[in-house]
């Protein structure tokens, strides 16, 4: 049997006798992917920008937990060898998350050199279920800063009550605030709304060396298509440039066509896809 990885990251097995012809498809050239970067560099930068409140090492794997606030902060980041067999590692993962009352997730990646197609296939063979697929996009930072005049955008080091009033996740807990505020150099942007109303737009940026990571860019539906999201990103990009960053990254779900079109117009391009695999149900796995 042959293991084949499709363009979307799905791994399938086919009989060798069914293969007529094939070739290895190289990663996209750097000029199409934005700033040159390895998967491991970006994975570590993204992880530092969204830290859990609790973590533990299992060899080169990091087990992360934050009371269930987002899968990214409540999943394993496997960047190497766990130091034990895969089955032993997954048993440890399931036990660790079970002790915290959380489902076990493993975050994997496909589509770039050094990613984890084989691990995806091994997880699927063991009944782990892929629940979410998103992409990490990269691009040069300076053009983002030049997209709009950031007038009217207020920057802060903390997510205040006004910022949280526009944030899509309601009822933000103390744990969530710790995750939102984590990262080497974190900035929050706000475009104030009318008196007594939630902000018209918000955004978050984490500056980490040469990288600036954008997240939580949200705009009041009543004032969309007025350039407020672009103004938020431009203001955050200018601050990141002041701190020495030169490249940008962000994450976008594969189905969000509107966001993908917007970011492509800003000069971003997909670098790799990442996936969250949930532990199998015991009844389905026979365990």
Residue 264: inside a domain, yes or no? Answer: no
How confident is the model at residue 7, as a pLDDT? 40
For residue 201, the domain's CATH number is 3.40.630.30
How confident is the model at residue 35, as a pLDDT? 87
Residue 8: inside a domain, yes or no? Answer: yes
pTM of the model: 0.83
Query: Does residue 164 share a domain with residue 128?
Result: no
Query: Does residue 167 share a domain with residue 108?
Result: no
Query: Does residue 75 share a domain with residue 148?
Result: no
The stretches of 109-256 forming alpha helices (DSSP H) are 117-125, 142-145, 161-166, 174-180, 228-242
The residues of the chain scoring below 50 in pLDDT are: 3, 5-11, 24-33, 283-287
Query: Does residue 113 share a domain with residue 7?
Result: yes
Distance (Å) of CA 175 to CA 23, 76, 178, 180, 186: 47, 18, 5, 9, 16
Residue 263: inside a domain, yes or no? Answer: no
How confident is the model at residue 135, as a pLDDT? 96
**269 near 33, Cβ under 8 Å?**
yes
Query: Does residue 146 share a domain with residue 48?
Result: no
How confident is the model at residue 195, as a pLDDT? 80
Query: Does residue 230 share a domain with residue 112?
Result: no
Number of domains in the chain: 2
Query: Does residue 226 share a domain with residue 188?
Result: yes
Query: Does residue 149 share a domain with residue 130?
Result: no
Query: Does residue 278 share a domain with residue 153?
Result: no
Query: Does residue 127 share a domain with residue 64?
Result: yes
How confident is the model at residue 4, as a pLDDT? 53
Residue 224: inside a domain, yes or no? Answer: yes
The residue segments making up the domain with residue 129 are: 2-15+25-135+273-285
Residue 253: inside a domain, yes or no? Answer: no
For residue 37, the domain's CATH number is 3.40.630
How confident is the model at residue 10, as a pLDDT? 46
Query: Does residue 167 share a domain with residue 103?
Result: no
Residue 170: inside a domain, yes or no? Answer: yes
Distance (Å) of CA 34 to CA 28, 136, 140, 227, 276: 10, 11, 6, 23, 24
**98 near 113, Cβ under 8 Å?**
no
How confident is the model at residue 168, as a pLDDT? 83
Residue 268: inside a domain, yes or no? Answer: no
Structure-block tokens of residue 106: 């493993």
Please return the burial class of 203, using the count of CB atoms within 10 Å of its CB with bins 0-12, 13-18 and 19+. Answer: buried
Distance (Å) of CA 1 to CA 18, 20, 133: 10, 14, 26
How confident is the model at residue 114, as a pLDDT? 85
How confident is the model at residue 259, as a pLDDT? 87
**156 near 236, Cβ under 8 Å?**
no
How confident is the model at residue 90, as a pLDDT? 98
Which of 253, 257, 248 shows the shortest CA–CA distance to 274?
Answer: 253
Query: Does residue 94 share a domain with residue 177?
Result: no
pLDDT averaged over every residue in the chain:
88
């Amino acid at each position: 049997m042959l293991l084949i990885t499709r363009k979307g990251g799905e791994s399938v097995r086919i009989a060798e006798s069914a293969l007529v012809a094939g070739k290895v498809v190289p990663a996209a050239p750097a000029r199409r992917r934005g700033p040159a970067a390895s998967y491991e560099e970006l994975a570590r930068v993204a992880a530092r920008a969204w830290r859990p409140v609790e973590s533990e090492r299992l060899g080169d794997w990091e087990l992360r937990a934050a009371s269930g606030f987002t899968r990214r902060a409540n999943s394993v980041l496997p960047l190497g060898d766990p130091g034990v067999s895969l089955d032993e590692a997954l048993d440890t993962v399931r036990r660790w998350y079970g002790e915290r009352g959380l489902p076990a997730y493993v975050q994997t990646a496909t589509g770039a050199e050094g990613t984890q197609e084989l691990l995806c296939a091994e997880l699927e063979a063991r009944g782990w279920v892929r629940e979410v697929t998103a992409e990490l996009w990269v691009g040069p930072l300076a053009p983002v800063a030049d997209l709009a005049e950031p007038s009217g955008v207020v920057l802060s080091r903390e997510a205040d009550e006004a910022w949280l009033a526009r944030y899509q996740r309601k009822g933000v807990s103390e744990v969530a605030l710790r995750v939102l505020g984590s990262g080497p150099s974190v900035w929050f942007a706000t475009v104030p709304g009318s008196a007594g109303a939630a902000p018209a737009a918000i955004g978050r940026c984490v500056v980490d060396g040469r990288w600036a990571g954008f997240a939580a860019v949200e705009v009041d539906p009543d004032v969309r298509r007025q350039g407020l999201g672009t103004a938020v990103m431009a203001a955050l990009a200018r601050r990141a440039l002041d701190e020495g960053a030169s490249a940008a990254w962000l994450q976008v779900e594969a189905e969000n066509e509107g966001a993908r079109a917007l970011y492509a117009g800003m000069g971003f391009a997909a670098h790799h896809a990442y996936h969250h695999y949930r532990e199998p149900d015991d009844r389905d796995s026979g365990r």
